[in-house]
Amino acid sequence: MQAIETTAQVDQSGNLHLLTPLRLRNQKVRVIILLPESADIDDKTWLYAIQNPAFDFLNEREEGIYSNQNENPIAL
């Protein structure tokens, strides 16, 4: 898969607008959005994002390592 890096602006409606036109025409593409580290994502946005099938692995048994059953509290 080939990658193209460019910049974009998200408007008030949540639509993504590329700041530089692409030479591609009539193609579907995958988009990865990278946010600055300082950008906090609110709970509503996070809950919407994790509905993506890419996060399905979190439901696997091996990922359930943090639960009350296996908690080892640290005595202070």
Asked whether the CA dihedral 63, 65, 68, 73 is positive or negative, the reply is negative
Backbone conformation region of residue 55, classed left if phi is above 0, alpha if psi is from -120 to 50, else beta: alpha
Q: Which residue from 29, 28, 31, 30 is spatially nearest to 8, judged by alpha carbons? A: 31
Claim: this prediction has a pTM higher than 0.75: no
Residue 19 pLDDT > 90, yes or no?
yes
Helix residue spans in 14-70 (DSSP H): 43-49
Residue 76 pLDDT > 70, yes or no?
no
Mean pLDDT, residues 6-13 taken together? 92
